[in-house]
Amino acid sequence: MNDTPSQVSARRYWPLGQLVLARLREFWREPEAVFWVYGFPVLMTVVLGIAFRNKPVERVHVDVAEGPGAPSVKEMLKNDKEERFEAEIHDVDSCRQRLRTGKVELVVVPASSAEGSSTGKGSQRRYEYLFVPGRPESRLARSEVDSLLQDKAGRKDAAEVKEEKVDEPGGRYIDFLVPGLLGMGLMGGGLWGVGFVTVDMRIRKLLKRFLATPMRRADFLAALMISRLIFMVPEVLILLVFARLAFGVTIAGSLVAVVVLILLGAVSFAGIGLLVASRARTIEAVSGLMNLIMLPMWLFSGVFFSSERFPDWLQGFIWVLPLTPLNNALRAVMLDGMSLASQWAEMALLAGWGLVTFVLALRWFRWR
């Protein structure tokens, strides 16, 4: 049985698939868009990973005031096993000037006291420390230098102390940063990659042309979200592979769980992008709305530092921001090895954002 021409035409006409293919072609013809989607997250990882890399112990700059005990104090500081100190000898006035101008963190003024000699206890070493209490590095230098000099003088600790230096993947800043960059990339891609593109098509009158076709509104909006998900796959892979090769970032939990969270985050932010673009008619309007939405999440949702640093009265607001549960869930799986089921609350919140915003966008969207 032969099909009629109308049946053949109906099979060939698949609005959703054609719209997705059109969006893919349009994206790859824009080199600047390719850079911002794939190159910029890697660039951010390189810059921040280098800036906050694990560094060797920073040396403490100490001045020793001239006097009879100055050479011995300098020698003790110089012979520290961990090589933490750089010491120089100057007169007291020069030492004070160098401390005030930030050239050193601490000044040690050695003195000798024979107060205990009459009681048979012998001479006692005495040190005076000059430091700036408002500078954390100066207070730290005072503590470290005093600990060293007291040990050299024969101090015995009352409690036995055992130390273990922990420096392994999962505890570094770059390990904390990569999930935040993933979340930030998904947020930016959903808002700019969907919302901005939609408004740009409205300005160029492309949406009016779509309106004249036998295409449903749901097909158009779904095509935008699907194309965003397709763009997201290489974006995430590039970032994770680069972080692994360049900085040794590993995933402690399930890779499948990470993929599920990334897909859920991408859908949620694509829905928000559609909602933002549903009525905006100008680039200025949509840019302002997207910046208004993204700025609180950049600041509060724990991209570059933990959101727990903010006061308790802000935590409720921070929790409902969609980027917060996404970042928290990604870090829980990638750093702590938590299961996907343990993140059900974060996933429910993300799914709620995606569902509600897509339904509202579907209702309020206009072609013109």
Q: Considering the chain, what is the average pLDDT of its residues?
A: 79
| pLDDT level of residue 113 (50, 70, 90 thresholds) | very low
How far are the Cα atoms of 18, 21, 24, 267 from residue 226, in angstroms, in the given order? 12, 10, 10, 9
160-195 confidence digits (pLDDT tens) = 767 666 666 667 788 888 898 888 888 888 887 777
Domains annotated for the chain, with CATH where assigned, are 15-52+169-364 (no CATH), 60-152 (3.40.190.10)
Distance CA 148, CA 77 (A): 8
Distance CA 203, CA 112 (A): 83
10-30 confidence digits (pLDDT tens) = 445 566 666 667 666 766 666
Distance CA 119, CA 327 (A): 66
306-327 confidence digits (pLDDT tens) = 888 888 898 899 999 999 999 9
Residue 360 one-letter amino acid: L
For the entire predicted model, the pTM comes to 0.66
Distance CA 307, CA 315 (A): 8
User: What is the mean pLDDT of the segment spanning 198-221?
Assistant: 75
User: What is the mean pLDDT of the segment spanning 118-128?
Assistant: 60
Distance CA 340, CA 348 (A): 12
61-109 confidence digits (pLDDT tens) = 899 988 888 888 888 888 887 778 888 899 989 998 888 888 888 999 8
Per the DSSP assignment, residues forming a β-bridge with 126 are 111
| CB 252 within 8 Å of CB 335 | yes
Matching residue, tokens 């100055």: 70
Q: 64: helix, coil or strand?
A: strand
Q: 65: helix, coil or strand?
A: strand
User: 230-234, 275-279, 328-332: which range is least confident on average?
Assistant: 230-234
Find how far residue 204's CA is from the centre of its chain.
Answer: 36
- For 220, the enclosing helix (H) or strand (E) is helix 217-247
Helix axes 283-300, 255-277, angle to 10 degrees: 140
Per the DSSP assignment, residues forming a β-bridge with 108 are 64, 129
Distance CA 347, CA 354 (A): 11
Q: Which residue has the higher pLDDT, 39 or 180?
A: 180
Q: Which residue has the higher pLDDT, 329 or 79?
A: 329
Starting at the edge strand found earlier in the chain, the sheet holding 106-113 runs: 85-90, 60-65, 106-113, 124-130
